[in-house]
């Protein structure tokens, strides 16, 4: 897949870069490792897409969904010990119902013994259920189970508050130093307006928050609002009606931090904070496709652009802070595509990984620099990648599911290894494959059928 950054001539050609022809659909070795089942309870144990290991690798965190879509009905967060298989409940909601509040998508801080997860608004009920714009990010210290701390502030009552958002934060991802968090966001105020005016769209964007200062919201008596320990801001620019053939987007989503310490720009300078995200553009024929974008983020996200408030207004979305720059990275013919995945990067920030199909319509992993340029096809497997992928902590390997097995591919040469025997369609590994912080273990899910006939998502560990 070749990346040609020409605004009026967008096309894609498949090429092989830095890989000899001997690697194409041939270099796959089977090296079966003995996996360990960690959980056995008659309930779901759903892993997040990344960051499920505690900093010392002793615990794996999960929520108790049995289906990815079940956050509104799920009320508990748990963790399992990787050595003893001990189970601990970290958090349970109050007044849980089929309509919320709901919790899920839990991640461990890379530097502290705390977890962060989606939490539906506390007054969720049949009339005001959990939705994309009615959720927030809650943190719990594992030595203080059951005590929630709101990281992102929420204020849906005018006057709005800079540093607080007005809706639903989702799929939180810690930066390597644990000081920032990225997430996708849907705005409650705009969502409500869209129900009355079809010309208004509630567009998903990407936002970040950092621990620079807490945010105090004037009215927290109303449980729709809450204070936050972190300062939040939207960092992607979207528009309701993108011009055909342009770099304008009407959705930003499924992002990842670039590198453990950013990346090196073309001028040789280091950009310390940056997000790679997926953006939906309109091609020259008006067809929607997804491409890779990068947002460079300044250290200070509290400074607003002139006449564009960070907190938004009663009729406009929150604005992007001063100093944020957004760039389109890929210019392909068909866009990036495959099963749902989040962009991930090598720890050195050199490569952004994404999924797309090759010339045989097989979903493969591709790499592109945060600076743009040519695209490198990394995997050349006979079977499609089946879900999210993650790079190892040392950046040398990438893990994923393919052909009903756990695979790794080496970044240096595209060599792939099958690490588990091929399973049947029902009991196959499912979802993401997540590395431990020391790179010595992989965690993933399988559905396991019980004697009752019921099947539940269980957590498996694969020592390497």
- The string of pLDDT tens digits covering residues 353-392 is 999 999 999 999 999 999 999 999 999 999 999 999 999 9
Residue 61 lies in a domain: no
Residue 81 lies in a domain: no
What's the angle, vertex CA 260, arms to CA 256 and CA 265, rounded to 5?
85
Per residue in 343-356, pLDDT (tens digit) is 999 999 999 999 99
The mean pLDDT value for 148-168 works out to 96
SS3 category, 71: helix
Per residue in 42-77, pLDDT (tens digit) is 999 999 999 999 999 999 999 999 999 999 999 999
Strands 205-210 and 231-234: antiparallel
Residue 56 lies in a domain: no
Per residue in 170-195, pLDDT (tens digit) is 999 999 999 999 999 999 999 999 99
Residue 241 lies in a domain: no
Least confident window among 6-15, 57-66, 129-138? 6-15
pLDDT of residue 20: 35
pLDDT at residue 13 is higher than 80? no
Query: With helix as H, strand as E and coil as C, how does 166-194 read?
Result: CEEEEEEEECCCCCEEEEEEEEHHHHHHH
Residue 298 lies in a domain: no
Residue 107 lies in a domain: no
Please name the residues in contact with 21: beta carbons below 8 A apart, sequence gap of 6 or more: none
Strands in 249-394 per DSSP E: 252-257, 263-264, 270-271, 274-282, 288-296, 325-328, 344-345, 352-357, 363-368, 376-377, 390-391
What CATH number has the domain bearing residue 2? Answer: 2.105.10
- The overall average pLDDT reported for the chain is 93
Q: Which residue blocks in 255-388 are alpha helix, DSSP H?
A: none
pLDDT at residue 454 is higher than 90? yes
d(CA 3, CA 1): 7
Per residue in 318-338, pLDDT (tens digit) is 999 999 999 999 999 999 999
The parent domain of residue 390 ranges over 1-42+350-464
Residue 408 lies in a domain: yes
Q: pLDDT-derived band of residue 1, with 50, 70 and 90 as boundaries?
A: low
d(CA 110, CA 99): 32
pLDDT at residue 10 is higher than 80? no
pLDDT at residue 3 is higher than 70? no
Query: Percent of the chain beyond pLDDT 90?
Result: 90
pLDDT of residue 11: 35
pLDDT at residue 402 is higher than 70? yes
**Both structure tokens of 186:** 């849907």
Residue 94 lies in a domain: no
pLDDT of residue 222: 85
Instruction: Report the number of distinct structural domains present in the chain.
Output: 1
Per residue in 204-252, pLDDT (tens digit) is 999 999 999 999 999 888 899 999 999 999 999 999 999 999 999 999 9
The mean pLDDT value for 21-44 works out to 77
pLDDT of residue 221: 85
pLDDT of residue 8: 39
pLDDT of residue 31: 77
Q: Do 339 and 386 meet the contact criterion of CB atoms below 8 Å apart?
A: yes
Pairwise pLDDT comparison (153 vs 4), residue with the higher score? 153
d(CA 291, CA 335): 5
Per residue in 243-298, pLDDT (tens digit) is 999 999 999 999 999 999 999 999 999 999 999 999 999 999 999 999 999 999 99
């Amino acid at each position: 897949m070749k990346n040609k950054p020409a605004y009026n001539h967008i096309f894609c050609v498949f090429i092989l870069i830095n890989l000899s022809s001997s690697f194409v659909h041939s270099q796959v070795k089977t090296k079966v490792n003995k996996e360990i089942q960690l959980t056995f309870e008659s309930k779901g144990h759903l892993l997040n897409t990344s960051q499920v290991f505690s900093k010392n690798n002793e615990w794996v965190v999960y929520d108790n969904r049995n289906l990815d879509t079940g956050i509104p009905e799920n009320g508990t967060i748990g963790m399992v010990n990787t050595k003893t298989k001990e189970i601990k409940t970290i958090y349970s909601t109050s007044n849980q119902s089929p309509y919320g509040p709901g919790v899920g998508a839990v991640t461990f801080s890379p530097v502290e013994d705390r977890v962060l997860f989606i939490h539906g608004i506390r007054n969720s009920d049949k009339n005001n259920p959990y939705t994309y714009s009615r959720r927030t990010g809650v943190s719990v210290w594992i030595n203080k189970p059951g005590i929630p701390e709101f990281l992102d502030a929420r204020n849906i009552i005018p006057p709005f508050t800079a540093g607080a958002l007005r809706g639903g934060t989702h799929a939180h991802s810690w930066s390597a130093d644990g000081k920032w968090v990225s997430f996708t966001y849907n705005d409650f105020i705009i969502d409500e307006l869209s129900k009355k005016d079809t010309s208004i769209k509630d567009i998903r964007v990407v936002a970040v928050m950092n621990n620079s200062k807490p945010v105090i919201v004037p009215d927290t008596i109303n449980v729709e609002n809450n204070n936050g320990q972190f300062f939040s801001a939207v960092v992607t620019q979207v528009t309701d009606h993108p011009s055909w053939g342009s770099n304008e987007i009407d959705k930003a989503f499924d992002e990842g931090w670039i590198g453990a310490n950013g990346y090196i720009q073309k001028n040789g300078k280091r950009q310390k904070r940056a997000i790679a995200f997926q953006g939906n553009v309109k091609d020259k024929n008006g067809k929607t496709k997804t491409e890779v974008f990068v947002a460079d983020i300044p250290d200070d996200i509290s400074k607003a652009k002139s006449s564009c408030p960070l907190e938004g207004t009663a009729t406009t979305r929150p604005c992007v802070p001063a100093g944020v720059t957004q760039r389109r990275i890929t210019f392909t013919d068909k866009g990036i595509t495959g099963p749902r995945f989040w962009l991930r990067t090598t720890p050195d920030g050199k490569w952004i990984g994404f999924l797309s199909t090759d010339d045989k319509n097989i979903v493969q992993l591709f790499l592109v620099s945060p600076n743009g340029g040519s695209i490198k096809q990394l995997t050349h497997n006979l079977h499609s990648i089946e879900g999210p992928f993650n790079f190892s902590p040392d950046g040398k390997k990438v893990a994923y599911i393919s052909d009903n097995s756990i695979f790794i591919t080496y970044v240096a040469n595209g060599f792939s290894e099958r690490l588990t025997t091929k399973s049947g369609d029902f009991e196959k590994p499912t979802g993401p494959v997540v590395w431990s912080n020391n790179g010595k273990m992989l965690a993933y899910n399988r559905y396991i059928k019980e004697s009752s006939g019921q099947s539940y998502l269980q957590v498996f560990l694969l020592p390497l």
